[in-house]
Amino acid sequence: MQFCFQGKCVLDANSRLKLPPLLLMDLSASNNSGRVMLYCLPEGCLGIFPMSEWENLRRLGSNDTDDVLNDAALRRQHRRIGSLSQSEVISNQGRITIPVMFRDLLGLVAGSDVMLVGAEKWVELWSIKAWEQEQQIIAEHEKKRVAADMDADLKSPQPG
């Protein structure tokens, strides 16, 4: 499953997000429980994960269980994930409700436009302003990467 798209949506007055029909089909195909996991990502957006993908990601990170009692950083990581995630049911109308805590944390305003962005294995919900900033960060990073690659190519010995 690959979520590859971006589009403007409205977070309605009741803080519900109507998911696009194609996204609903993709979520349904991978998720017979009708639930998704919401997780506030550090970049400033809300990740919307199919439950199967969330469980896979959590399983990958669960190998550290033996160390959690001895490692404060690991406990903080678990605490962050536990406190900033919540499962939600997709309604019969294809909507999910965005909890108040998440809206406040991410600057999402009920009744306003938001961006829904595919991130291949999950979907992200961004405020318009935060998405514009993220696109600038991505563009700057790409410019620096391309310049560094070009610089390395120019400095490498030419066959000859």
151 inside domain: no
49 inside domain: yes
Reply yes or no on whether the pLDDT at 61 is more than 80: no
Provide the greatest CA pair distance for the chain.
68
Q: Which residue has the tokens 């469980």?
A: 55
34 inside domain: yes
* Cα gap 39→68, rounded to integer Å: 21
Residue 18: which domain range? 6-128
pLDDT tens for 4-18 read 999 999 999 999 999
Given this model, what pLDDT does residue 28 score? 78
84 inside domain: yes
Q: What's the total number of domains in the chain?
A: 1
Given this model, what pLDDT does residue 63 score? 62
* Cα gap 54→36, rounded to integer Å: 8
Among residues 110, 106, 121, 104, the alpha carbon closest in space to that of 36 is found at: 121
100 inside domain: yes
91 inside domain: yes
Q: What is the CATH number of the domain that holds 27?
A: 3.40.1550.20
pLDDT tens for 13-34 read 999 999 999 888 888 777 667 8
Reply yes or no on whether the pLDDT at 58 is more than 90: no
146 inside domain: no
